[in-house]
Amino acid sequence: MIGKTSILVIYTGGTIGMVQDPKTMTLRPLTFDILYKYLPVLENFNCNIDFYTFEPLLDSSNMNPEFWIHLASVIEEKYEDYDGFVVLHGSDTMAYTASALSFMLENLNKPVIFTGSQLPIGMVRTDGRENFINSVEIAAAKDVDTPVVPEVAICFENKLYRANRTSKLNAENFKAFVSGNYPLLGEVGVHIKYHHNLIMKPNFKKLRVLKELDENIAILKLFPGISPNVVEAILNTKGLRAVILETFGAGNAPTVQWFLDQLQDANARGIVVFNVTQCKGGAVDMGKYETSAGLGKIGVIGGYDITTESAVTKLMYLLGCGYSTESVKQLLQTSLRGEMTV
């Protein structure tokens, strides 16, 4: 692209885009024609910045696969016109949306940087200004005309994370996200320090956007005292195609026979059972303890160090692609977008 770097900022909703009405004192979405009032420094950026606003705006609690498809379609439509994208999104489900986009945008060779804030951008102590400015600079960063971060990432509180490695950890601190099993892609200080060896490399292939997502999955989170009725109800959900089994520690689960029998029955019915640890750090290692050895024998698939957010979106993506059950199981144990360490 000749001339200045061009960045498209996509505003989907969320706290970062809220300003306080001086009369009613309630929060309302800002319009980007007054954004420069809150961020006059944007005038100094050596790049062109355009804005795309979703209608209607969505609180992140209302995000769903239909929205993810819409967002991916916008990026697909605008892909050749811009060098990078910044997505403003509510923090509560940002890790889900960003993970979903990482799978849907195959052969991505440009930055798609998600950010948001814990305080509205119109408030004096907002973290939104810094998050926004950092994200634009990262999305525009190039090295010999090649984007420095050609992948889906989250920029929050001076840290750059691989999107499909993140979870929201805190609802009150500015440090809202954690990546327990993968190092930071970059850190923002006086300079932005990129860890180039950890960032995905471009493949210069044509972008392919995969828009079929299958929502027929469930999460079965284990807890001491979980009853047969609860497990049976989830595993017999109408239309269920896959279940994420959130286990203890390194993939451990009860060894009682009724539990193993129900999982084995689900597997026999073609339901994919994906073992993901409840811990924010560490990995599933089935067979390390007696309490996980039996799971592998009945067809449960180990998820290594994948996050629940990434597991949810990866399953929706794989099932939506129309793969056979056996192919889905194989691909779940393959790192497709750097989402897990195998």
**Tens-digit pLDDT profile for residues 64-109:** 999 999 999 999 999 999 999 999 998 899 999 999 999 999 999 9
What pLDDT does 269 receive?
Answer: 95
Residue 113, CA distances (Å) to 58, 99, 290 in order: 18, 12, 42
Tell whether the model's pLDDT for residue 1 goes beyond 50: no
Confidence of residue 23 (pLDDT cuts 50, 70, 90): confident
> Higher-confidence residue: 242 or 171?
242
What pLDDT does 3 receive?
Answer: 65
Domains and CATH numbers, the chain: 5-209 (3.40.50.1170), 217-332 (3.40.50.40)
DSSP state of 322: T
Q: Name the average pLDDT for the chain.
A: 90
pLDDT digits (tens, 9 = 90+) for 207-265: 999 999 999 999 999 999 999 999 999 999 999 999 999 999 999 998 899 999 999 99
Q: Is the dihedral of CA 75, 81, 84, 87 positive or negative?
A: negative
Q: Is residue 175 within 8 Å of 161, Cβ to Cβ?
A: no
Burial grade of 209 (CB within 10 A; 0-12, 13-18, 19 or more)? middle
> Higher-confidence residue: 294 or 142?
142
CA–CA separation, 218 and 241 (whole Å) = 9
Active site residues: 15
Spatial CB neighbours of 224, under 8 Å, sequence gap ≥ 6: none
Confidence of residue 34 (pLDDT cuts 50, 70, 90): low
CA–CA separation, 183 and 45 (whole Å) = 29
Q: Where do runs of H (alpha helix) occur along 171-289?
A: 228-235, 257-268
- DSSP states of 19-63: EE-TTT--EEEPPGGGHHHH-GGGGG-SEEEEEEE-SS---GGG-
Tokens of 49: 């910045």
Tell whether the model's pLDDT for residue 333 goes beyond 90: yes
**pTM metric for this prediction:** 0.92
What pLDDT does 324 receive?
Answer: 94
Confidence of residue 28 (pLDDT cuts 50, 70, 90): low
What pLDDT does 70 receive?
Answer: 96
Letter for the amino acid at 327? S
> Higher-confidence residue: 144 or 16?
144
Q: Could you tell me which of 72, 118, 120 has the C-alpha nearest to residue 99?
A: 72
